[in-house]
């Protein structure tokens, strides 16, 4: 357990200056905003990483802003927020950024009013429809143009869906995807993720996916920074995967912190070309003024609804 006087549980992974950003790295406590990966960083499955709640509530008590990122499009942002809230971290849905939201915003911005066929689950369909995308159930019966086939992690993927995607592409649809994760970690192992659907559709159509919006695409961070209302130099990206969380932060020229509570071990770092600015034993090493936040009471009102109306 950290105390105010304890030695920080983090280390700078690289030298004190980052040539890529051309400036000195501040300390982890100097950021105004914290962009946190969820699985492997805040929780594992249904269990919080020890100290995660205290760290996040402590950051908020210091006036720091926190948002959460996930590549997974199979749950809605409301469901993620409800899970965090149930785990003791009250969170509004707007503070959760997932690949469904980023895809919905991308299509709404770049192709307003477009029509899409979705290889994905209902959470993604709802997010796209909320952004004004017309989602069609069966592109083969419309006799009309489908602009995009949106590919995502889909546990209901079938031959019929594969055929729908093929027919949509034959009539000119473009391929885009929420995320390209090969597998999704679950209790006791892993299950196929969106890469399986992408592989099947690319293989069948002969077309390549032209855009994947999820991590490591820094589009995720642009959306997060928009929510935070902060600049990239003011925020720290925290996650457990070098090839997604940390690479994404590097691409955005942002400061990054790797936590060792997920898939990456300290010895993996020496074998990787992707190097974070900081390595934390866990999210519990993030700074917070613990005296300002106590169980059931927060001087800034986070437990009962923030003064800024964010809850």
Chain contacts with Mg ion (rule: CB under 5 A) = 37, 39-40, 240, 262
Rounded to whole angstroms, what are the CA distances from 6 to 3, 10, 12, 54?
A: 5, 11, 17, 15
Minimum distance of Mg ion from residue 183's CB (angstroms): 13
Minimum distance of Mg ion from residue 184's CB (angstroms): 10
Residue 216: cis peptide before it, omega within 30 degrees of 0: yes
Rounded to whole angstroms, what are the CA distances from 84 to 72, 77, 234?
A: 15, 11, 24
Nearer to Mg ion (CB atom), residue 147 or residue 240 = 240
Q: Which two tokens stand for residue 236?
A: 């720290």
Give residue 204's Cα distance to chain centre.
29
Looking at 18, 39, 154, 268, which residue is catalytic? 39
The yes-or-no answer on residue 18 being catalytic is no
The yes-or-no answer on residue 37 being catalytic is yes
Minimum distance of Mg ion from residue 185's CB (angstroms): 8
Q: Which residue has the tokens 């299509």?
A: 107
Sequence-separated (6 or more) residues with CB below 8 Å from residue 288: 54, 55, 57, 58, 59, 61, 62
Looking at 18, 30, 37, 154, which residue is catalytic? 37
Sequence-separated (6 or more) residues with CB below 8 Å from residue 22: none
Minimum distance of Mg ion from residue 4's CB (angstroms): 29
Nearer to Mg ion (CB atom), residue 202 or residue 243 = 243
Q: Which residue has the tokens 């009962």?
A: 304
Nearer to Mg ion (CB atom), residue 51 or residue 262 = 262
Nearer to Mg ion (CB atom), residue 69 or residue 149 = 69
- The Cα 212–Cα 150 span in angstroms is 10
Nearer to Mg ion (CB atom), residue 169 or residue 248 = 248
Minimum distance of Mg ion from residue 221's CB (angstroms): 15
Residues identified as active-site: 37, 39
């Amino acid at each position: 357990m950290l105390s105010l006087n304890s030695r920080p549980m983090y280390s700078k992974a690289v030298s004190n200056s980052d040539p890529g950003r051309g400036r000195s790295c501040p300390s982890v406590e100097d950021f105004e905003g914290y962009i946190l990966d969820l699985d492997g960083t805040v929780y594992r499955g249904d269990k919080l990483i020890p100290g995660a709640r205290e760290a996040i509530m402590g950051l908020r008590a210091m006036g720091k802003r926190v948002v959460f990122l996930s590549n997974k499009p199979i749950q809605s942002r409301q469901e993620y927020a409800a899970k965090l809230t149930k785990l003791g971290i009250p969170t509004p849905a707007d503070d959760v950024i997932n690949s469904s939201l980023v895809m919905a915003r991308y299509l709404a911005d770049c192709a307003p009013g477009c029509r899409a066929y979705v290889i994905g689950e209902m959470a993604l369909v709802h997010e796209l429809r909320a952004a004004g995308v017309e989602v069609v159930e069966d592109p083969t019966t419309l006799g009309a143009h489908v602009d995009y086939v949106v590919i995502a992690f889909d546990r209901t993927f079938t031959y019929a869906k594969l055929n729908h995607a093929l027919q949509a592409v034959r009539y000119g649809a473009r391929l885009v995807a929420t995320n390209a994760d090969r597998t999704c970690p679950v209790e006791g192992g892993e299950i196929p993720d969106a890469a399986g659907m992408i592989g099947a559709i690319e293989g069948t159509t002969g077309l390549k996916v032209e855009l994947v919006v999820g991590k490591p695409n820094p589009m995720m961070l642009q959306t997060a920074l928009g929510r935070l209302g902060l600049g990239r130099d003011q925020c720290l990206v925290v996650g457990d995967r070098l090839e997604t969380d940390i690479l994404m932060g590097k691409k955005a020229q942002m400061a990054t912190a790797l936590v060792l509570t997920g898939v990456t071990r300290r010895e993996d770092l020496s074998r990787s070309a992707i190097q974070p600015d900081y390595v934390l034993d866990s999210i519990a090493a993030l700074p917070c003024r613990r005296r300002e936040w106590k169980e059931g009471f927060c001087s800034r009102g986070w437990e009962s609804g923030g003064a800024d109306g964010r809850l």
